């Protein structure tokens, strides 16, 4: 079945780095755009980053621009998010989600992976 599984979350000190992964299965990963969306504890959804199916077009939210980088490896059906210079404000559950076109909704979501930034 169509599935997205995130991994790589954990507890990290401020200023450190982390790489999140999102493994896709059950669909043609290389033909879909992919998003990262995060949700801080008790808060709403925040869009983080998007990468188009070919890995060329990428967009990042202003709040993470210059610190986070989205990438993908279509040969491994895997999406990545590199998180650098982490701050306490980055503490959240990070979800990956797929989309068939820019304007379409995010129709499949993973279960999320938790990132906790604490000294």
The residues of the shown chain that bind other proteins, judged by CB under 8 A, are 35, 37, 44-47, 50, 59, 61-62, 95, 97, 102-107, 109-112
Pick between residue 15 and residue 48 the one whose CB is nearest to other proteins.
48
Q: Which residues 6+ apart lie within 8 Å of 94 measured at CB?
A: 6, 9, 20, 36, 37, 38, 48, 81, 112, 113, 114, 115
CA 18 to each of CA 10, 15, 64, 68, 77: distance values in angstroms, whole numbers, following the listed order: 8, 10, 14, 10, 20
Q: Write down the least CB distance from residue 102 to other proteins, Å.
A: 6
C-beta of 13 vs 42, nearer to other proteins: 42
Nearer to other proteins, 17 or 45 (CB): 45
Nearer to other proteins, 18 or 37 (CB): 37
């Amino acid at each position: 079945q169509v599935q997205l599984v995130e991994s790589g979350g954990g507890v990290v000190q401020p200023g450190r780095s982390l790489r999140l992964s999102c493994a896709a299965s059950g669909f043609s990963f290389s033909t879909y755009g992919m998003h990262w969306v995060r949700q801080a504890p008790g808060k709403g959804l925040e869009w983080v980053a998007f990468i188009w199916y070919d890995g060329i077009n990428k967009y990042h939210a202003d709040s993470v621009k210059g610190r986070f980088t989205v990438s993908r490896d279509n040969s491994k059906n895997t999406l990545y998010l590199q998180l650098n210079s982490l701050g306490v404000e980055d503490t959240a559950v990070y979800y990956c989600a797929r989309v068939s076109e820019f304007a379409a909704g995010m129709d499949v979501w993973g279960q999320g992976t938790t990132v906790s930034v604490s000294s």
